[in-house]
């Protein structure tokens, strides 16, 4: 997901938009989602609203890592991987 679109989705989640939350769930299934959250959180905020988006990106990243870190986790989900390179 493009960083700008991800930021917009996170901002909509802060406004309790149920469509944004389902969009975020779908985005989490794409390869590179975790790194996109990290990139977004590392950008300097231009406003207070962007500060909230950065904080939410880190919260979502923490949840994402917990769900994909180890198979013994009770919330473990198989990570999505891109095409293999042979």
Average pLDDT, the chain: 84
User: pLDDT for 36-78, tens place per residue?
Assistant: 999 999 988 888 889 999 999 999 999 888 877 766 666 666 6
Confidence bin at 30 (pLDDT 50/70/90): confident
Residue 81 predicted with pLDDT over 60: no
The answer to whether 34 and 60 have CB atoms below 8 angstroms apart is no
């Amino acid at each position: 997901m493009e960083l700008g679109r991800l930021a917009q989705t996170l901002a909509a989640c802060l406004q309790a938009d149920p469509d944004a939350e389902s969009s975020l769930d779908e985005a989490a299934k794409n390869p590179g989602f975790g790194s996109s959250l990290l990139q977004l959180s590392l950008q300097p905020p231009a406003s207070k609203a962007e500060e909230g988006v950065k904080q939410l990106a880190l919260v979502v990243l923490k949840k994402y890592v917990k769900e994909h870190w180890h198979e013994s986790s009770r919330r473990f989900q198989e990570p999505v991987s891109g095409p293999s390179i042979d």
